[in-house]
Structures are given as C-alpha cells and as structure tokens.
Structure 1
C-alpha cells in the first residue's frame, strides 16, 4: 500500500486547488520534476511506459542475431552498411518499378491517363505509395462480415487540409518547412539541385487537393462517409481516368464490382483538377511521394533531411536513438514476432484474468446505468443492452503469436539480409500491401488485431463490436494486480469503460450489435442524445492551449467521440468499483501524514494516467487534427461533470455548476 501511495503522492501538487484544477493537483508534482526528453515532442505516463516496453524489446533483439526479428533489427542497426549505399537503394527501387509516366508541359492525354493508372498501381503494390487517392480493402460497414474495396481522399504531405487552406505558402512557416524538405529531398536523391519552382508546384498541387477535400468534422460521420456504389459509377466521376484498368492492375484481375467511396465529391472535383494540371506537376508529385515515403530508411544524410522536417512540425530537438528507431521498424515489419517476444518475457497470465473480471464488472455497470437514463426510450435501451452484452473483449495478445508454424510461414517473404536493410524494409512494405489486397473476396477475419501486444493503448472496433486491450497497457501506472481496487479501477478501469463507451458515442452509436452501420435508435431518442452531446461540444471548446503568443481553442466537435468516451468510462468504472465485492469508497488510507479515501484514490489514479507535457508545436498539432483533447482537458472536463468527485474532494461550493451527462 505504501508503494502505491508513495508513487501517487510524488506526482501531486497538494498546494493546488483540487476543485478548480484537478489536473494540476494530481499531476503538478510530476510536471515540475519531469522534463520532455530532447528526442520527444511530448512526455507522458503513456510515453514513459511505452519507452519501458520498447527497452524490453530492444534488449531481446540486441542480445542475439538469430531469429527473423533479430536479423531484421540488426540489419537496421548496421549504419555503416546503410551509409555506404547512400541513396542508391531508392534509385534502384524506382528503376525496378518500371514507371512509364513522363513529365511534360501540357496536360494529360488519353494515353497519359492510361499510363498513370498503371503506374499508380505499381507504386502502391511495389512501394506502398499512394497518390492523390487511396484504395484499400476492409470491412463493409453495412455488411461487416464481408470485405469491400474502399476509396477515399488522400495525398497530402501534412496531417490534414487545414495546414494548406487559406495559408500563404510564401510566409506560412509550416509550408516553408515543407518546401525546404521537398527541395532538399530532390537535391539529395537526384544528385543535383532542382528547379526552384518544383517544390512550389508540388505544394500548390497539394493545396488544390486540400481545398476539395471533405473537412475533418464531416469525416467523423460514418453515415456521410458510407457511399457504396458500382465501380462503374465511381469511374464515371473521373471519366478520363481509367479506373477499371487501375483496379485490375492493383488487384491482379480480381473483379471489383462494388466500392465504398468515403468522399464522392472529392472524386468529382479531382477529375477537374487533374484535367488542368500539367504532366510535369503530376510527375514531380508522384516522385515526391515515392521519395518521401522511404527517405528516412536511407543513409544518415537522407534521414537527417527527413528528420529536420519532423522537427518543424513537432518541436523535437534531436532524433531518437538508432536502437529505438530500429525497434519500431522491426515491430512494424514483424508485429507478431515482437508480440511473442514481449508477452513471453514481460506479461503475467494472472493479469489477464484480473482484467477479464474488471471488464465484466464494467459491462454490468453500463447495463445497470441504462436504467437511470431518462432521455432514452425503453426499446432503444433494450437494444443498447443487447449490444453491450455482445461486445467481445480481446485481452493481452492473440493466440496465433504462440503458433511457431504461423510465425514461420506467414512472414516468409520478408527478407532479413544483414547487408541490405533497405531491401528488407521494402519486402516488409510489399508484404503488408499484399496482405491487405489479398483480403478482397474473403470474409473479414474477426480474430485479427489492430495493435501489437506491446502497445500502450486500447481501442474499440465498431465493425467487430469489440474492445481490445494489449498486454502493453496492463501495467503500472494503469494497472497492478496487488494494488488497491480503487487504483486499478481509476486507471485501467477507466480505459476499459472508455473503450466500451465508444460503442455508444456519436460514431459507435450508429453501429448495431453485429458491427453493421444501421439506425437502431428511435429518432426522438437520437435527437435527445445529440442534445446531450452538444453540451460536451460547448464545454470542451472552452479549453485553450497557448500557441504562437496567443491562445488556441480545443475543437469540441472534433474531440466529441473521445470526450463522450472519457466521461462515460470515468462514470462506469467508478460504479463498477463501487459495486465490486468488498469495495468501500469511503475507506481511509494514509501515507506520511496524508490521508486519502479510496474514492479519492480512484480519482487520483484516473488523473495521473494522463500526466503529460508537450512542446508548443506538438500541442498545436494535436489540437489541429487529433480527436483526443489535451491531457489537462481530459481530466478537468471529466471531473467537472461528476457530482461524486465534488463529494470526494469537498467541492460543494461548485455543486450548482452546469454539468454535461450522456452515459
């Protein structure tokens, strides 16, 4: 008990007012002692645990050169061999793709469109590079057991459209950094300085793409982004582009009869844009996409060019250690091998059983909570209960990672030549692309995981109606089986409640218990639900961060789903804790003269999971495009909506404030 309380107390700033800024009260001590490492854009409880997990993997990979993952890692670590080859591996890759599209001053002819279609397929299959649209295979949102080809907008070098729209490329610092990155990349790869207008042309083209893209708020609506049509209908949107030829080459002749187009209007406007874009601009853009995708995997000088651009976006001061970079790349190439390593050396099966029980208690709390919700009609409540009961939970790791035959045969095409890291990297890229393309015509693999077992995160998948908790997060500061229940429910319990609530947030609520996009709510209840969630939109939009000598507001519409899940998970986990056998929220615990109730431990554990510091550029980037609110807002927003919190910390003077309640 002392170990737990000591760890918690060391992070606190008890001079802060818990009632007005609980984040500072819970994390102020942590913030005063922790510094953001030079090689990080931010530092947090998540980041510290993630680094610890990667350190475990690094030791295992570095300890031996035997085994596929170890071989891949050591090829990445051989910088002498990598530096000795310079940019030649990338030039060889370009030659091997046998691209036929050529630059030219005029616009594209019919033959040019045909050549472009074939080259775009070659770029994706042979280099994992997508051009000005993205195609992929995944679950059909309205028939979640079947896979379908999906088409969407893409093509930007920056995270999203707002970096381009209404910005002056000659004065905007982010676009100026992008211009320098493009110019330096072409200089390095081609061995000579390009025409000064090359980078401007690429940025102008990307800006044109950005202006015709759907905005980030609309993209959150699964009903707006589900537009299933015949492939011929999509082809009609781009009459000069031979889509059928592109799809035939991309999927090796497999029939593609239906396509789910997330952004139909984008394809309408893309057709017009391509018609007036010079061939040279299209050629330079595709060259840039190829170069930038693999620049960081070349020699040290090429990596430095790529990293300099990352610095401009995130404010990070230096690159991570090579060992850490190569751990990440090995995990990306051979995820199941790394999951096996991590689980075998780090995870306790007892933690899995403990977590299973907690999830079940939180599920029960959700179902019990439905009875208290006055804005939901009886029929929709029954459907919500049915959906909650059918949510599948995946904990720690998939069984297949302990199947030696699977590990050997599934990844057999990934190369591990000790002297050819770039080719090893490309074999992993092509393997990943082929794995995805091969899903066409096959049923959805319901056992597939979207994260490796060492990942410090969790997720809800609406198309499978499942919640997933990798082994990597089932550790301190989220979870420790011999710590007080209140600690575990405040930590990993809130994360579990958060993911379960995603099944009923503004996106998840549009999927039924089988994972199909379907209206299963009464219209009147959905209207009341949206009224409830609008309270959260307004509340979180009031939070601000410091940026560029001013303030920038959190986007309450962009972060709505996560804010619903934060508040719902927080509420559900507390109720699950309170109802767990033997729990006593008013139990008193003491440490070094400081007294806490179990109820207070719950809230402190919740808040300290989110202790974080970010560089200004990184926080700005988060607010621009991340659906998660900044850490301080996640904490202070949730507790502001909790009457139980006010009771725990004697905040009665705020008992009349407006609160937002959904779940």
Structure 2
C-alpha cells in the first residue's frame, strides 16, 4: 500500500487535515517575538521603543526570579528524591545561563505547560502536559487540540496573511534590499504563480457564489456516470455489456479522483525501486474503518447523511426522476453495499506487512481473480496513449479483489452498484458545494468525532487545506520565502549526521544483531538520503519557472471554485498516470514544504523534513541544543529508525524489498518486536460511555519502534555533545532561567513530552485507535520513556515504578 511505503510522523500524509489533527489557536508568542527580532535586526526601533524594550527585558529577568522561586518551592514540597543511579557527567550549575528574550519566554512556556506536582516516574505525560491541558480547551467544532498543531496553525496563518495581499505587496515584503530582486522575466512568472495560488484561495473563500450555484456544478458528473452505466437509461441485462460499462464508469470516476471499491495508483516497484509500477489497494468506505459498520448508531447516522445529501443534490433537478421516497431507498442501498464492502476489507494491521502485501499479477491473472471488472480496459482507459502497455499490476490483497467480484458485485443488483458509485462521487465532491449540501456530511463527521455539528472550522482553514492539496508547492514557495532561512538547513543536516553516527556506533552493542546483518545495516545508513526544507527539483520550489512548468497543465480561475476543485483532481490523476512505465524520480517530495510532518520512504531509503516542522517547538536557532534534540532530534531519529522497523527493515539500502537479514537475526528481531506489541496492547484510551479501548499493538508496531528508537538515538547524540562541552562554548546548551531543578538532561525529555501535549474527544480517541498506525499521544510519550534507561537515570525513577518497569522492551 502507498501508506506503508511512506511513514509520516503523524497520521496520514499530511498532519493538518480536517479528519485528523485539528488546529488550535496559533502561538501569539511566536509572532510577537518574530516581529521583535525583525525590528531589532533592521534597526527600526524609535528611542521610546528602545527604552521600552530595555524595561521589558528587566521585567523578564525579574519574572524569572519569581518563576525560579516557585519551581524550587514545588520541588521542595515533594520531599527528598531517591539517589541518582547514574549522575550526569556535569551538573546544571557549571553551565552558563541564557537570558535572551526567547530563552526567558521559552522558560515561562515550559513552566506553564508542565505540572511539577506530578511525579514524572508515575506518569511522564501528565508531568509534561497537565498544565497545558488545563489551559487549553478543544475549540467548538473540532475534535482535538494539541501543542503539535499550534505550529501547523501558525504556518497556515503565515500563508493566510500572504494571500490576503496582492503580489506587489508580497514582493516588496520578500524581496527587500538585502535579497535583491528577481530578473523581470522571472518576476512575471512569479506573479503568475502567486495569482494561481490566490485564485484558488479566493474562489474557495467566495461562499456566496458557491452557495448560489447549489448542486448544479456536480450534476454533469452524475449524468455522465448514469449514461455510461445504463446507456439508454434501462438496466443492462447482458453480463458482458454490464461489465464493460461498469469498468468505464469506474475509470471515468478514477480520472476525476474518485476511488470506489479500490485505489489504483503509481509508485515505485518495491522489488525494482528504480522503476514505477501500477498498484492497487482497497478503498471506498464512507466510515473511517470497517469497525464502524458494526455500530448501529453510527450506521444510522450514515444512512441519514446519505439520504439527506442525495435528496438535496437530486431534488432540484427533474432529469433523474427523483422523489422523497427514493432518498431513503438510495441510502439503504448504499449502506447495505458498504456493509458488504467493509466485511471483505482487510484489517489495517494486516496491511502492515510489505512482503505479504506485495503480490504482482498479470492483467490476465487479475481478470480471472476478479472477473466482474475488465482490468485491461480499465488500465488502457486511464494511462496516457504514449505510455508503454502495462501487463501487470501489484496487488495489496488478492483476496480482497477476488471478493469484490464473488461477494459484492456478483451479488448486488445493477441499481445498488450504480447508487453506490453515485454516492461515492457526491461524497468526493460535496466539500466543493454550498453550505446546505455540506451539512449532512458534516453532521455525520461530528457524530463520529464527538464534535458540535453546528460549528464548523473557519472557512479560511478549509480553503488553505484546498490550496495545499491542489497547488501545494506554489504555496510552499511563499511559505519558505517568508519563514525558512538562515542556517536552519545546515543545522538540521548537522542533527541528522550526529544521529546517524550514534545509530551506527551503537550497532556493535546489540548482541542479537549478527555481523553479516550489522554490516548491511551500516551500508543502509550510509546510503540514506536526507531532504530538508523544500524540493529543489521536480519542482524546484525556489524557481518560479520550474514551478510554472510543473503546474503547466492546471488552470485556475478566480470565480469558479468547483471548476478549480475538479481541475486540480484531474490534474493530479493525470500527473500520476504519466509516471506509468517510467523511472522513479528520486527528487520528488511526497509532502509540501509548509507541512508540519516528516516521513521515511523505504523504496528510496530517504528521510524528509519539510520547512514547516523546522520551527518552534521542534526547532529554533535560539533554542539550546537539548530542546532542539528533544524536538526535531527525536523526529530525525524516529524517521531514521523507520528504515529498521517491522516494515522498513525488509528494504535494503537501495530501497529493494529483499531479505537481507540472516534467519537467526530476523527471528531475534521478531521476538523483540513482540515485546512491544504486548506492551502497547495493554495501553487503553477512554472511548465514551465508560468504554475502554485498547491500543492495537500490532497495528502501531512500526511507529512504536520508531518512537522508541528515535528517543534513544536523539538523547545519545545530544548527550555526547553535551558531555564534550561543559561550558557550552561550542554547542549551545545554556540553562534556561528559573528552571534550576530542570537540568538540560531533564529538559531534553520535557521538550519531547511537551511536543505531544493533546486533548481530544473520546470519540476522536476511539477513531484514532481504530484507524491510526500511531499510538495515542499519551502513549507515544509514556510508552517510549518506560523503555528508556536514560530517562530512568535522569529522573531517578525507582526500579519497578510506572515509568521504570523491571522489564523493558528494547530493540534499536
């Protein structure tokens, strides 16, 4: 599957989707400090402002004194701590104190988040996040709020601000005297690119125009679907003719980005990663997973949403012969069809094995396996005429495709199948229609996630998400020009190199890893590609001409959002199918520069860190190293470890799916991995109505291994530098004011914990457990520190305490 070849830090390929992590208010501190810093650097303060600035700094210092007294009082109230098993090599008193404005503000933010009354050895997540949770409420209409998402919202607001002005204002903002200007031809192209992004955003923001059009923009797609399927308007009795028309209908929907029954896509061939190959995996459910179809309450809500939406779409037109009675009948057909589809779908955890899900089949074999669909016709209809003929396809689950024919299509009436395809089309495009048409689906989503259906996310957030989806690299250029510069890329490279070295240096200490496998593991790390900030080819984000060429097949207008929405989907599908039969382009990125996420791609053996995540609280040029390593350093280690987790380990240094482990070492790996499966399967979350739902240890195994490995690697890389530089002369490990009891060693872990502070509805928590390959935030933190000897030493946790159990799971 596509998702198992790309291991994002967060759920899905983008962290900021409406159905996933929700966005809290942005960090006012970040914006205020950025403005302060810019004015300082550019000498734009008046005399009065300079005086006020000095006074402010004095107040900050006074504040830290009180903060320190408070922190000391809380610690003293807790009584004496047990002796430290392995004391740090130098203590907090010898390290210089940082009194810059950002250090003062950062110290205050740390104290505002953590709860010093909690014993970190009992519950480190509570220690790191209790006060944060008290100060944050889930916004109305949202399912969660998290410190992780604050950065995503801040990034969105950067783009929102840029798109609220014209190109001349943007150009003046970005290209000041220090940067120089673009040559006239490039400036013209840059202006055209800017206007494309702005047109997409502005057309989405024009809700009045969208509402006035109602369902009319969608009707041509639905008429085409009906005519392709039924021809003269009567049900087809001939099986062969039905097969041909069903295939053409599915192909037409696929060209428009609709994925009923299955998802056809193009990606690197796992056994020949230098080439792209056609692949197919399951798809087509309305509800988040097959588990939800066993919940009568949710299924009833889905029925109502389908009926209401279809009635709104077809009720205003006469050529579909619609009436109120048909709405209920159609919804019943859709629900029953999807129940059957859910019953034959694989569980998520069964799709986590890259070997079991790699099943090449010729089109002839596929036609015998799933005869209800003309696979040769389907492929020929979708691929460009100039592409070489494709005779094979990689199948994630042959059993699923077989049951599509035997258990679903062969046992469903033509009317039921068409009604399902019609609903999938409406579902895929309803977000581009007016508010009234969106309400039923929003109500269903609110039911699933436990939110207030009467409150929706701000329109500007919705429209920026669409900008990301349709012209993400163009928007990425705007973001990078505004927010990513200085030596951020060089410093990130430095973090990556230090963590890679630690990973390799530790390999000889792993007695379960034999020499042959260890040698190939070192080779894989040596061949690891790292990408930071933004793509420099296909397209080059910093080149207006390259971006223009990349999006040359897309046309965006200012006054027709639905047309833009449809065009962007067709553009994406066409661009993907142009890769059929071509060599893999290793320069391509699978995320936009502005995204707050990261990923590992095993078929290229690469780790990728967009500019969007290289910001506070993960990374800051003014941060001490222990905060940066506890933030972005753990992210780097996480993605590196994905190359050696339960899935990534099956790919060699060239990205080839091949068995490069010896049998004995492979068996030892599986035994150690089983420990993590059992450990995380014992963790639970509240799922509502007093129900406790267990984390799926097998489903989350790869991410749990990456979390544990990443934490250990980042800590060892930082500690090595810290111990070599007691006076913080080479590396910045200066102390934060007012945090005398929180040594740099402790603050490394504190920043790791703070990154995952989160609140979500019980319904959302349940959805995440059922559908996400990541553990819930609480267990991403506590699970990792439970297994960390370093954590137990730093926080003096007694053996047998909750965060220092006698038996730890260990791998990398």
| TM range, smaller chain | over 0.9
Whether 1:465 aligns to 2:614 is no
* Counterpart selection for 2:302 from 178, 183, 199: 178
Give 1:307 shift.
1.5
Equivalence for 2:340: 208
8 Å contact from structure 1 (residues 588, 595) kept in 2 = no
Give 1:96 shift.
5.4
Give 1:28 shift.
0.7
Q: How does 1:584-595 map to 2 (within 5 A)?
A: 589=735, 591-592=737-738, 594-595=740-741
* Counterpart selection for 1:42 from 133, 144, 160: 144
Equivalence for 1:418: 558
Equivalence for 1:660: 809
Q: How does 1:631-650 map to 2 (within 5 A)?
A: 631-650=777-796
8 Å contact from structure 2 (residues 142, 451) kept in 1 = yes
Equivalence for 1:427: 567
- Structure 1 range deviating more: 628-637 or 543-552: 543-552
Q: Tell me, in whole angstroms, the C-alpha distance in 2 between the residues paired with 1:269 and 1:6.
A: 58
Seen in structure 2, the aligned counterparts of structure 1 residues 288 and 646 have a Cα distance that, compared at 3 Å, is same
- Structure 1 range deviating more: 187-196 or 7-16: 187-196
* Counterpart selection for 2:381 from 245, 249, 253: 249
Give 1:355 shift.
0.6
8 Å contact from structure 1 (residues 107, 275) kept in 2 = no
Equivalence for 1:276: 411
SS in 2 for 1:150: strand
Equivalence for 1:555: 696
TM-score when normalising by structure 1:
0.96
Whether 1:5 aligns to 2:107 is yes
Give 1:405 shift.
1.5
Equivalence for 1:474: 614
Seen in structure 2, the aligned counterparts of structure 1 residues 212 and 266 have a Cα distance that, compared at 3 Å, is same
8 Å contact from structure 1 (residues 217, 558) kept in 2 = yes
Unaligned runs of 5+ in 2: 1-102, 168-193, 316-322
Equivalence for 1:512: 652
* 1:288-342 alpha-carbon deviations (Å, 9 max, x no partner): 0111100111111112222212211222322111111111111211011100000
* Counterpart selection for 1:292 from 427, 448, 471: 427
8 Å contact from structure 1 (residues 99, 122) kept in 2 = no
Equivalence for 1:339: 476
Equivalence for 2:624: 484
Seen in structure 2, the aligned counterparts of structure 1 residues 323 and 593 have a Cα distance that, compared at 3 Å, is closer
* Counterpart selection for 2:222 from 94, 97, 102: 94
Seen in structure 2, the aligned counterparts of structure 1 residues 492 and 107 have a Cα distance that, compared at 3 Å, is farther
- Structure 1 range deviating more: 148-157 or 279-288: 148-157
* 1:392-427 alpha-carbon deviations (Å, 9 max, x no partner): 000010120112122223213323222211001111
Q: Tell me, in whole angstroms, the C-alpha distance in 1 between the residues paired with 2:327 and 2:531.
A: 53
Whether 1:110 aligns to 2:240 is yes
8 Å contact from structure 1 (residues 46, 609) kept in 2 = yes
Give 1:10 shift.
1.3
- Structure 1 range deviating more: 412-421 or 399-408: 412-421
Q: Tell me, in whole angstroms, the C-alpha distance in 2 between the residues paired with 1:574 and 1:359.
A: 13
SS in 2 for 1:196: helix
* Counterpart selection for 1:27 from 125, 129, 154: 129
Q: Tell me, in whole angstroms, the C-alpha distance in 1 between the residues paired with 2:372 and 2:220.
A: 31
Whether 1:350 aligns to 2:487 is yes
* 1:50-105 alpha-carbon deviations (Å, 9 max, x no partner): 00100000111121276110111111111111111111000133345674212877
Give 1:584 shift.
5.1
Q: Tell me, in whole angstroms, the C-alpha distance in 2 between the residues paired with 1:303 and 1:414.
A: 26
SS in 1 for 2:285: coil
Seen in structure 2, the aligned counterparts of structure 1 residues 96 and 119 have a Cα distance that, compared at 3 Å, is closer
Q: Tell me, in whole angstroms, the C-alpha distance in 2 between the residues paired with 1:223 and 1:542.
A: 27
Q: Tell me, in whole angstroms, the C-alpha distance in 2 between the residues paired with 1:660 and 1:69.
A: 48
Unaligned runs of 5+ in 1: none
8 Å contact from structure 1 (residues 39, 319) kept in 2 = yes
Give 1:487 shift.
0.9
* Counterpart selection for 2:756 from 591, 610, 634: 610
Give 1:244 shift.
1.1
Q: Tell me, in whole angstroms, the C-alpha distance in 1 between the residues paired with 2:219 and 2:788.
A: 59
SS in 1 for 2:487: helix
Equivalence for 1:71: 199
Give 1:117 shift.
0.9
SS in 2 for 1:239: coil
Q: Tell me, in whole angstroms, the C-alpha distance in 1 between the residues paired with 2:202 and 2:581.
A: 37
Seen in structure 2, the aligned counterparts of structure 1 residues 552 and 97 have a Cα distance that, compared at 3 Å, is closer
Equivalence for 2:14: none
8 Å contact from structure 2 (residues 275, 583) kept in 1 = yes
8 Å contact from structure 2 (residues 384, 578) kept in 1 = no
Q: How does 1:373-388 map to 2 (within 5 A)?
A: 373-388=510-525
SS in 1 for 2:742: strand
- Structure 1 range deviating more: 584-593 or 80-89: 584-593
Whether 1:573 aligns to 2:714 is yes
Q: Tell me, in whole angstroms, the C-alpha distance in 2 between the residues paired with 1:476 and 1:450.
A: 23
Q: Tell me, in whole angstroms, the C-alpha distance in 2 between the residues paired with 1:359 and 1:389.
A: 12
* Counterpart selection for 1:217 from 328, 340, 349: 349
Q: Tell me, in whole angstroms, the C-alpha distance in 1 between the residues paired with 2:575 and 2:740.
A: 56
SS in 2 for 1:595: coil
- Structure 1 range deviating more: 253-262 or 490-499: 253-262
Q: Tell me, in whole angstroms, the C-alpha distance in 1 between the residues paired with 2:150 and 2:347.
A: 33
Q: Tell me, in whole angstroms, the C-alpha distance in 1 between the residues paired with 2:327 and 2:468.
A: 39
Q: How does 1:105-184 map to 2 (within 5 A)?
A: 109-125=239-255, 127-164=256-293, 167=294, 172-184=296-308
Larger Rg: 2
Seen in structure 2, the aligned counterparts of structure 1 residues 16 and 90 have a Cα distance that, compared at 3 Å, is same
Give 1:156 shift.
1.0
* 1:493-542 alpha-carbon deviations (Å, 9 max, x no partner): 00100000000000000001011111000011011001111111111111
Give 1:215 shift.
1.9
Q: Tell me, in whole angstroms, the C-alpha distance in 2 between the residues paired with 1:215 and 1:509.
A: 22
8 Å contact from structure 1 (residues 86, 298) kept in 2 = yes
Give 1:176 shift.
1.3
Give 1:564 shift.
0.2
Whether 1:315 aligns to 2:445 is no
* 1:415-463 alpha-carbon deviations (Å, 9 max, x no partner): 3222211001111010001011111021111111011111111000011
TM-score when normalising by structure 2:
0.79
